[in-house]
Amino acid sequence: MTPYDAFLSTHKVMLAPMAGVSDVAFRQLCSEQGASLAFTEMVSAKGLSFANERTAHLIDLYAGEALVGVQIFGHEPNTMADQAKWIEQELDGHLAVIDINMGCPVRKIAGKGDGAALIQDPVLAERIVHEVASCVSVPVTVKTRRGYYDGVETCVDFARMAQCSGAAAIAIHGRFATQMYAGAADWGCIARAKEAADIPVIGNGDVFSAQDALELFESTGCDAILVARGAQGNPWLFAQINAALEETFGAAGDGPQEDCMRAGAFPTPEERIQMARRHAHLLDDHHPKAVVRMRKHASWYVKGVPGASAARAAFNSCSTVDDFDRAFDALLERLSHSPEGKQGTIG
């Protein structure tokens, strides 16, 4: 067993890196609810090399964040390696793992040769993994997709490549890059990669409930999972997954759950609104100019809550934390007069 195998034995349910989503505030909330490790948004190695403050702030830690995973993207091996080394030095013992994004399908990333574009250039991908793994002391992992073009599965060979070039593990999202996020994730490819590779395989894609997480583990044999869109507006999902794992297997993830709500429970509409309010204030505390990104988070939190449509319209005009407070107060007031007020569920 490698040190990373031991790491994954206790870090089974992690928050995936998501651009514009897994910032310092959201990482804190998900960790409190049981995410055993949370990844930063993906960080441009090129941006870091230019000493870009808008890039560097993505690796800021919240108070008490003992360990964090950092995902980097780019296509220049030397730049990727140099910036991985800088991140390790900057985080000074708080860095758990460097993940290399080789799966992002959006045009502004893949169109520049980064992200999912590297699926089509395994020789360059191998060089990048080797260079990064050679210059840091923490484990290096790769996050990729089933393949690039619809119907052309390459992740099994990609997993073998990652293993041979020094990766400690590979995370696989069960869609092709050309699918973006359409259709259903095919978890079968994760199982095939797990069978073929000797390094740990992390499953990703379409985990929206505790039952989804259990099925992903059981159907693929994966070593851990990354929760992505399922956690948007629903950090409680980690508590629900851990409760299900403990009930089914007798062991849950090892997340810091001192502040975790009652294990496995679904939040009331009021709890969801209060979590959204706390999220807005945490975001404002860390990056006041970025509080406008709370518009999408707030809309996710109130999905299915009576009065959500009017609330979303209000959120879209919010630009300060005080604006969000007023919008949350208005929604709570409407709920207090609604017969459905205490019956919302995660939708």
Q: Where are the domains of the chain?
A: 3-249, 269-336
pLDDT in tens, 254-313: 554 444 455 567 899 999 999 999 999 999 999 888 899 999 999 999 999 999 999 999
Which of 232, 234, 229 lies closest to 204, judged by CA? 229
pLDDT in tens, 12-25: 999 999 999 999 99
- The 10 Å Cβ neighbour count of residue 338 is 15
Is the pLDDT at 146 greater than 70? The verdict is yes
Q: What Cα–Cα distance (Å) separates residue 38 from each residue in 9, 78, 156, 181?
A: 16, 26, 26, 21
pLDDT in tens, 76-100: 999 999 999 999 999 999 999 999 9
Which of 133, 132, 130 lies closest to 122, judged by CA? 130
pLDDT in tens, 300-338: 999 999 999 999 999 999 999 999 999 999 999 999 887
Q: Single out the catalytic residue among 104, 135, 189, 318.
A: 104
pLDDT of residue 167: 97
Instruction: Retrieve residue 127's tokens.
Output: 């060089």
pLDDT of residue 308: 93
pLDDT in tens, 191-231: 999 999 999 999 999 999 999 999 999 999 999 999 999 99
Instruction: Retrieve residue 342's tokens.
Output: 């205490």
pLDDT of residue 108: 95
Is the pLDDT at 3 greater than 90? The verdict is no
Q: What Cα–Cα distance (Å) separates residue 71 from each residue in 39, 45, 189, 336?
A: 7, 10, 22, 42
**Structural domain 3-249, CATH architecture:** Alpha-Beta Barrel (3.20)
pLDDT of residue 168: 96
pLDDT in tens, 148-197: 999 999 999 999 999 999 999 999 999 999 999 999 999 999 999 999 99
User: What's the first-to-final CA gap in the chain, in angstroms?
Assistant: 40
Q: Which positions ≥6 away from 162 have C-beta within 8 Å? A: 125, 129, 142, 144, 170, 197, 199
Instruction: State the DSSP string of 288-323.
Output: GGGGGGHHHHHHHHTTTSTTHHHHHHHHTT--SHHH
Asked if 155 and 138 touch (Cβ cutoff 8 Å), the reply is: no
155 is catalytic: no
pLDDT of residue 264: 60
pLDDT in tens, 28-80: 999 999 999 999 999 999 999 987 666 788 999 999 999 999 999 999 999 99
Q: How far apart are CA 166 and CA 299, in angstroms?
A: 41
